[in-house]
Structures are given as structure tokens and as C-alpha cells.
Structure 1
Amino acid sequence: RRQAAEQFNKGSYAAAAATFRLIEARVSGGQKPLYHALADLADAYGCWDRFLYKPAWESLKTAVKALDMASIFGGPAGIKSLIPRLKENSGFLEKLVLDPAEIKAAVAPDLLANARRRAEQDRALDAALLTAVRALEAFAQVQLFKQHKIKAHDVQPDQLPPALKEVCRTSYLDDVDGKYKLPMVAQFRALAGLGDQMGQAYLAQWPQMKPLLDAASRSPLGHGFEPAVAERYHQLYALIVKVTGVTDAALPKFPTLEL
């Protein structure tokens, strides 16, 4: 059981689920539902970690119900204290999954939380850096859509501030689907031109931002061959917080299993 919890806490969700299922097969009848639920829990976070939000939510809902029951009937001591975090996470996923909007606001903080896990859990700095860049862009996309009804992946040049209209017409047409698509920097410039605080904050931080985006671009996961360093990721993370105003509390946190 401890081994499965350790696997979970290291982010090896598939391994944790397999270990819990192994225990489920070995224990007597009364304990089976507990380990079945813990396996579902590991599956849920494994899906979530790969952005498979719907199956994650469904597995998590099932697991929470069963673990809630287990805590009432005297399951492991750590279960009871785990439930509130699980319910909070389930609520986050529910909101995300049921959001009918094409551009889902909750994905932006989730991407940033994912970047943090890549850095802290996996020490995968290139993945962390690139995921953080994607999170930054997602915040811009959400802001453009929610506040200004602009879809960055299908923009009409006339929706943009005057300074960007012509650039959009001449430079941002996608050959593949014939839509105008704003790259990330243009998204923030559009926000700034529309008087949006997030866009203005981005432009104010641009001198600091530039080398960090360059580091992401030079990464093997970007367009280059230079592995990222931890410092670049941490600097970018701090700037994202500054530009977007996202708080730590807004980022979903995966639980730590103590069984």
C-alpha cells in the first residue's frame, strides 16, 4: 500500500493504479472497494495529468464516493483528510468539463499547474518551460475571448486594434485552413491595444520575457537543441504570475497520498 502511495506521489499514476488493483485482488471482500477506489483515483489523476479531463472527472467522482464511504467505515487514517482536496479537484474538473465555451477558462491555470508538476515532480525542465509558455498563451486566449469576443485561432482582422489589422492580413493567414491566427505575442499586443490590463502588463514585462521565450524556443521541445535550465522556468513562472495575476489558490493541486 505504501509503495502504491509513493508511486502516486511521484506521478507514476499508472503504476500506482496497477499496484492498487493487485492489492484489491489479494484482500478480503470488505477491503476490496477501498482499493478499487484508490485504483480509480490513480487512474483519474493519470488522465488529468494528460489533459484527459472527462475520463479524469468521471473516475474521480466514482473514487470520491467510494472513499467517502470507506472513511465512514474506518478506512486508512489518511483517507478522511484527503476527501476535501479530492472534492475540490472534482469541482474544478466538473467546471472545466461542463463549460460549454469553445475556449475554456480553467485550462489556463491547469496548464500552469501541469508545468509546475513537470518541474517539481519530474524535473523535466523542457516540458515545464514549454507547458508554461502554453499556459501563458492560454491566459491570453481566454482573456481575448471572454472580454473581447476574439478567437485567437480564428480572428477577423477588423476586430483588432488599428496597429494590428494590416499585420494580421499580411502575416497571420494560415495556409492550412485559411483562418487568421494570432501568435502569442500578437495576442498580448492585441489585448494591450484594446486597453486590457493583461496585455499592458505583458508589454511592460517584455524585456524580461523575451529571453525566456527564446530559451523555450531553443529547447529541444521548442525549435532548437539546447536543454532548458531550471532558472529559466522559474523566471518565466514568476512573470506569468505577474502578467496574468493568477493566484496560487487558483491552480489545481494534486493530492499527496498518505496511507
Structure 2
Amino acid sequence: KILEAIIWSRKTIDTDFNEKSIEMISKKPKGHGYELVEDLLLNSERRASQGRYDDAVGRLYRALELLVQIRLKLQYGIKTDDVDVKKIPQEYREEYEPKNDMKDRKNKIGLKESYELLAKLNDDDPLAKIYLSRKSELIGLLEVRNLSIFAHGFRPITKEEYNIFNTFFENFFDDFFTGMNAKRYAERCQFPHRLQ
């Protein structure tokens, strides 16, 4: 059941995946739409249990990014990999207009820009509220992640740094679901950490 919900979650955000026919899943969407994010969280835990903290934090970062991508797509019809500025209120459009050298390419925005856009669209959105209340802490954590060899730096992420990042994200995600009056779908659907 969780796998079916993860597949539906991916179909929501990944247009290439959406075009593929997938046998043996129901024709009706399952879950709340954020199961793919939950799957990445569980995957991050497995990487951390193997001592692969850089990999684990990279997956947490991707989950954080995917959370806002799904929210923008589901609630506001905005794709972060090709922003349609017509869907953005007039007062903010100029910020998101493609630059002169980008006119012929897709208008993409990153993690921070996506959360900022969400807050501009609706600062009362459950995810925007969480972001705004924890923005400075999040930026500090992202600086640690950016120093990782898997991001822009040269040093490994420590177990302690992973634990701080993981705790922050778990609380961020739990608060999002509480704000939506929803329950985490994959509460404890963890694969084994090691097969021996």
C-alpha cells in the first residue's frame, strides 16, 4: 500500500514518470501526495545507519526541496523546474522573470527561492509558516550541508551534524503534517538497515 502511494506521489511531480504506464496500481490516487518525501526520509535513515552521513544529508536536502516542489505544484500549479510567471501575483513577477540570457531556457528556481515564493504566494500556507518561523536555522544547516564534499565543499558530514539536520527536518515535516491535519502515511514502513 505504501509503495502504491509513493508511486502516485511521484506521478504528481515527475512528468516523465507520469507518462509511463505502471501496471498493478489503482486508478485512483492514494495517500496525501507527499509519500515520496517520506520515502526519502526513510532512505536517509538507512544511509545514516551505514555511516554514510554525507549521503544521508544529501537525501534530507532533496526531501526538503521535494516537499516545497510538491506543495507548489499541488496547491498553486507552479513547477519549480519551469516557473510560469503568469501564475505568480503581479507584484512578484519581475523577481521570477527569466533573465535575458535565460529567455530560451526553462525558468528554474532552487530550494530557497521555492520556499520564498511559497511564502509570497500565501504566508498562511502551513509549509510557508513553518519555513518562515525556522528560516534562519534552516539557512545555517544548509551552510553545513554546502561544505560537504557531496555539495560544494571538501569535508565530510559528521554523525553529530547529521543528527542535528535529521532532527530539524523530522520536526519540520511533522509540523507540516500537523498544520495540514494529516497523518504521515509511511509512519513506520522502514526497510531493514542491513541484510546479513
- TM-score, normalising length from structure 1? 0.56
Whole-Å separation in 2 of the counterparts to 1:237 and 1:173: 38
Assess if the C-alpha contact under 8 Å between 2:12 and 2:70 holds in 1.
no
Note the C-alpha offset of 1:165.
Answer: 2.2
Q: Are 1:94 and 2:4 matched, yes or no?
A: yes
Whole-Å separation in 2 of the counterparts to 1:111 and 1:192: 24
Q: Are 1:254 and 2:165 matched, yes or no?
A: no
Note the C-alpha offset of 1:258.
Answer: 9.8
Aligned length: 167
Note the C-alpha offset of 1:236.
Answer: 1.9
- Structure 1 pair 257/243, CA: closer, same or farther in 2 (3 Å)? closer
- Structure 1 pair 226/216, CA: closer, same or farther in 2 (3 Å)? same
Note the C-alpha offset of 1:97.
Answer: 2.9
The residue number in structure 1 matching 2:140 is 211
The residue number in structure 2 matching 1:30 is none
SS of residue in 2 equivalent to 1:187:
helix
Q: Are 1:182 and 2:109 matched, yes or no?
A: yes
Assess if the C-alpha contact under 8 Å between 2:44 and 2:56 holds in 1.
yes
Whole-Å separation in 2 of the counterparts to 1:205 and 1:144: 19
Assess if the C-alpha contact under 8 Å between 2:6 and 2:39 holds in 1.
no
Note the C-alpha offset of 1:221.
Answer: 0.3
After superposition, the C-alpha distances for 1:170-206 in whole angstroms (9 at most, x for unaligned) are 559858x711111101111111122222022112111
RMSD between aligned residues: 2.9
- Structure 1 pair 188/234, CA: closer, same or farther in 2 (3 Å)? same
Note the C-alpha offset of 1:98.
Answer: 5.1
Q: Are 1:228 and 2:138 matched, yes or no?
A: no
Whole-Å separation in 2 of the counterparts to 1:172 and 1:233: 39
SS of residue in 1 equivalent to 2:97:
helix
- Structure 1 pair 111/164, CA: closer, same or farther in 2 (3 Å)? farther
Whole-Å separation in 2 of the counterparts to 1:154 and 1:162: 18
Note the C-alpha offset of 1:251.
Answer: 5.8
Whole-Å separation in 2 of the counterparts to 1:214 and 1:207: 11
Q: Which moved more, 1:195-204 or 1:243-252?
A: 243-252
The residue number in structure 2 matching 1:106 is 35
Note the C-alpha offset of 1:239.
Answer: 2.1
Out of 228, 243, 246, the residue aligned to residue 172 of structure 2 is 243
Note the C-alpha offset of 1:248.
Answer: 8.5
Out of 188, 198, 204, the residue aligned to residue 127 of structure 2 is 198
Gaps of 5+ in 1: 1-90
After superposition, the C-alpha distances for 1:25-69 in whole angstroms (9 at most, x for unaligned) are xxxxxxxxxxxxxxxxxxxxxxxxxxxxxxxxxxxxxxxxxxxxx
What is the identity percentage for the equivalent residue pairs of Structure 1 and Structure 2? 27
Q: Tell me the amino acid that sits aligned with residue 253 of structure 1.
A: Q
- Structure 1 pair 144/225, CA: closer, same or farther in 2 (3 Å)? same
- Structure 1 pair 258/97, CA: closer, same or farther in 2 (3 Å)? closer
- Structure 1 pair 213/182, CA: closer, same or farther in 2 (3 Å)? same
Which entry has the higher C-alpha Rg, 1 or 2?
1
- Structure 1 pair 207/146, CA: closer, same or farther in 2 (3 Å)? same
Whole-Å separation in 2 of the counterparts to 1:200 and 1:112: 21
Whole-Å separation in 2 of the counterparts to 1:248 and 1:98: 13
Note the C-alpha offset of 1:135.
Answer: 0.5
Gaps of 5+ in 2: 15-32, 178-183
Whole-Å separation in 2 of the counterparts to 1:102 and 1:188: 16
Q: Tell me the amino acid that sits aligned with residue 158 of structure 1.
A: K
Q: Tell me the amino acid that sits aligned with residue 252 of structure 1.
A: C
- Structure 1 pair 242/160, CA: closer, same or farther in 2 (3 Å)? farther
- Structure 1 pair 180/252, CA: closer, same or farther in 2 (3 Å)? farther
Assess if the C-alpha contact under 8 Å between 1:220 and 1:227 holds in 2.
yes
